[in-house]
Structure 1
Amino acid sequence: MKHKSESFDRFKEFQSEVKNQLAKTIKALRSDHGLITSSNYNYLECRFLSDESERTGDSNIGFMCPSMISETMLRHEPDAAINYMQRTLRTNRNMKFIMLPYIESQHWILLVLSLHKKTVYVFDSLRRSDRSLAIKEPLHTAYTSFLLLEGMKKATKLSWISMKCAQQTGGDECGYFVMKNMFQIVRYLYESNDLKKVCML
């Protein structure tokens, strides 16, 4: 692989081989940093569900790779991160929503972008009034570039809306809630066009 963003496609190929050759499903993965199970696996499941809906012609959700838009990536390789976001916006221009699982200061937050409504919906399981989100300006830069490439000369700032969502009671549950919200959006959005209703299920 040349880029981390290709990892999901490689995983899908491997998953397909396991299913076809062994008639078994993958229950857990192991990376250099430990075991990937439970809620972390849901990210891959959400991506799989999205790809399946695209294959059947019923796709309306896009994704951005968390490692490409993380606070660390934005700090050390800002140009690469912005270029990735701009390319992904173009690729997913017709999607109803684009999901951005985002980590900042060791805290996971789910951002859901609607290009049509020019709005980013923030699902934060540990809401704080002083959270500034380092991704805001880089995403706006990518969004402005996307609009210019699409032939739209007037760039409007994205609106950011904090969504009412379940709140964690401990200190390390943010990843679970990001996965939970992603899973519910992918699974149930076709039943309701209202993000508020979907994420309160």
Structure 2
Amino acid sequence: MMEDHLKVSVDTILEQYSSAPLPVPVPAINLSTLGDAQGTFVQWPTCWVKFTSEVMSNKSSKGKKKLDIHKKPTIQRSLVSEKVLLSLTRDCKWLHSMIASRSSDDPIAITLDASMFHYESDDSHALLTIEDISQFLSGAMINISIIQIFVIAMQDYLQGLDTFAQLGWMCPESISSTACESNPEDVKVYIHRAITESQNADIDILVAPYYENVFRNTCAHGSEKVNKIIWKQMKCAKQTGGLECGYYMMRFMYDLSRSINEGQDLEQVYTSTLRDEAFSMAEIHEIRDRWAMYVCDNLL
């Protein structure tokens, strides 16, 4: 977001102003006038925004920056191809706009709470890079930081509901295929700690976003003291290509969270009532929009 600007939705335009130029045009997706931007979000100078639905306190204008109306509009760069930009939903376009207008390309640091992710001691951190967001917007295979952020978003989503479902989460990086293959003993210790802490907190459902084959192999060679795991085959949507796994994982987490919060029997839901065909593009877009707006509202 540019300094001294707000995110506004262009909903209704008086006919005589439809050709007025935008203060921050986005030429990559042909947004240059108010008429072009109708039905989407744009960046708007704060001093041009008048609030009518709330009482605003009168603040001294001393020291405030004045907008130079003769200054040339800022032209945003594009993080993805023109074809991709034109295909994005409104929320994803807004994410692109906010990232493209940042003054720095430094990664965005995200705090991963130790108690939530069952780390041994201190909080951990993930970095969200420009490349990560570009891959996300392009529909390419996504980095694990995208999944970590979505887990946090799901926890916030559940906490905002009237009936908060007690759900536990494992860190996807701590049980990733790389971790399972390079440090299987550390993964076993982590899983044991996550399960123990969840049981002590009366959390019955512990979500583990993982790569199935490697994770199962790691669990199968665990300590003999641990009770044998009973695996149950569930029905779920199946991806059609090799790049969608991250988006499917996020959709699974979202559907799982909703089912648990609604008090549904998960075994019944995932063995008989769920389809096993691919997710529709609308279902994938819904998840991408949720992720995009969480980042815009909480991390930028």
Question: TM range, normalised to the smaller chain?
Answer: 0.5 to 0.7
Equivalent position of 2:209 in the other structure: 101
Compare the two structures and name the one with the higher strand fraction: 1
Q: CA deviation at 1:139?
A: 2.8
Equivalent position of 1:21 in the other structure: none
C-alpha separation in 1, matches of 2:223 and 2:251: 27
Equivalent position of 2:247 in the other structure: 176
2:172–2:208 CA contact under 8 A, matched in 1 = yes
- Distance change (3 Å), C-alpha of 1:170 and 1:135: closer
Equivalent position of 2:259 in the other structure: 188
Matching of residues 118-157 of structure 1 within 5 Å: 133-139=213-219, 155-157=226-228
2:166–2:205 CA contact under 8 A, matched in 1 = yes
Give the match's secondary structure for 2:227. coil
Equivalent position of 2:128 in the other structure: 30
Q: CA deviation at 1:161?
A: 1.6
- Distance change (3 Å), C-alpha of 1:44 and 1:96: same
- Distance change (3 Å), C-alpha of 1:60 and 1:190: same
Q: CA deviation at 1:99?
A: 0.8
C-alpha separation in 2, matches of 1:193 and 1:171: 31
Q: TM-score under structure 1 normalisation?
A: 0.55
Equivalent position of 2:274 in the other structure: 200
C-alpha separation in 2, matches of 1:75 and 1:134: 7
- Distance change (3 Å), C-alpha of 1:193 and 1:37: same
Identity of aligned residues (%): 24
Superimposed CA distance per residue, residues 136-180 of structure 1 (whole angstroms, 9 cap, x where no aligned partner): 2533566866xxxxxxxxx53111122111111222112111111
Equivalent position of 2:22 in the other structure: none
Superimposed CA distance per residue, residues 108-129 of structure 1 (whole angstroms, 9 cap, x where no aligned partner): x5xxxxxxxxxxxxxxxxxxxx
- Distance change (3 Å), C-alpha of 1:171 and 1:161: same
Equivalent position of 1:160 in the other structure: 231
C-alpha separation in 1, matches of 2:209 and 2:156: 16
Equivalent position of 1:73 in the other structure: 179
> Aligned-residue CA RMSD in angstroms?
3.6
Answer with 1 or 2: which has the greater Rg.
2
Structure 2 unpaired stretches of 5+: 1-109, 117-126, 138-145, 276-300
- Distance change (3 Å), C-alpha of 1:9 and 1:37: farther
C-alpha separation in 2, matches of 1:189 and 1:95: 12
- Distance change (3 Å), C-alpha of 1:183 and 1:60: same
C-alpha separation in 2, matches of 1:62 and 1:144: 25
1:46–1:186 CA contact under 8 A, matched in 2 = yes
- Distance change (3 Å), C-alpha of 1:142 and 1:37: same
1:62–1:92 CA contact under 8 A, matched in 2 = yes
Superimposed CA distance per residue, residues 60-84 of structure 1 (whole angstroms, 9 cap, x where no aligned partner): 2111101111121122122221111
Give the match's secondary structure for 1:98. strand
Q: CA deviation at 1:192?
A: 3.1
C-alpha separation in 2, matches of 1:102 and 1:177: 12
Give the match's secondary structure for 1:134. helix
Structure 1 unpaired stretches of 5+: 1-5, 13-28, 104-108, 110-132, 146-154
Q: Which has the higher contact order (CA 8 A, sep 6+)?
A: 1
The alignment of Structure 1 onto Structure 2 pairs a total of residues equal to 140
Equivalent position of 1:45 in the other structure: 153
- Distance change (3 Å), C-alpha of 1:83 and 1:33: farther
Q: TM-score under structure 2 normalisation?
A: 0.39
1:62–1:95 CA contact under 8 A, matched in 2 = yes
